[in-house]
Structure 1
């Protein structure tokens, strides 16, 4: 089970996601962020990612967008032989699941948790309205 998580993405998304997780779960020193900023290029991002990755022991990586530069840079490193476990499409339930897994010593399928948390709320609300009518 990885003890560290690196969030990679565009702009301030990673930092905001980490802050939101900390708001719910408390401080998370084992979650690291590497953001691609508007003024940076691929090489800048790769250098920042390598600095964080090289300081950790086999971290898990969540990326914001499949096909985006942060995900592509990490994918390239995987193809070069780096033992990186990478998930794209990160969201807050995935990060909270990682924190819970860290606390419990378990390992979850992160992609399952992410997709099961996509819920059309209107459908739930309409079901509630139907129950009230009965």
Structure 2
């Protein structure tokens, strides 16, 4: 199975910066697009920009669109793709741990990816202060 196509979408440059940061960790990615919704964008502008990103990718194994927030323009535009295209998974809550999980599991099915991302999202949110407070001394305060 080939890797799923990926579009990372956000308000402003967040999606672009997130993908660049992830690539610093896991290496350059292929079959990826980025949608950055700018202040001056109309809904039609965002739809057109998403369509342009979509058309540049190989969708034979499906497509994952990772958006910043539910209900925002990137999410709403992506919802149209769920209805008009085949094998599209849209997930919200873009963050670096989530994106890294996705980039290292792109050879899985869309259902497997969705389940993995749901778990990764929960595991990636931690109160680091409490984790460090559990340590008695500096040697015990290392998390990794």
TM-score (normalised: structure 2)? 0.80
For residues 59-118 of structure 1, the C-alpha deviation after alignment (integer angstroms, 9 at most, x for no partner) is: 21100000101101111332x34232100011111211122113xx44442121012110
CA RMSD in angstroms comes to 2.0
In 2: Cα distance, 1:129 partner to 1:13 partner: 38
In 2: Cα distance, 1:124 partner to 1:67 partner: 33
TM-superposed CA distance for 1:29, in Å, is 2.3
1:38 is matched with which residue? 39
In 1: Cα distance, 2:67 partner to 2:101 partner: 15
TM-superposed CA distance for 1:122, in Å, is 0.8
TM-score (normalised: structure 1)? 0.85
- Asked whether the equivalents of residues 90 and 114 of structure 1 are also in contact (C-alpha less than 8 Å), the reply is no
Deviant stretches of 4+, over 3 Å: 105-108, 129-132
TM-superposed CA distance for 1:3, in Å, is 2.3
1:29 is matched with which residue? 30
Report the 3-state secondary structure (helix = DSSP H, G, I; strand = E; otherwise coil) of the residue aligned with 2:41: coil
Aligned residues: 129
Q: Which runs of 5+ in 2 are unaligned?
A: none
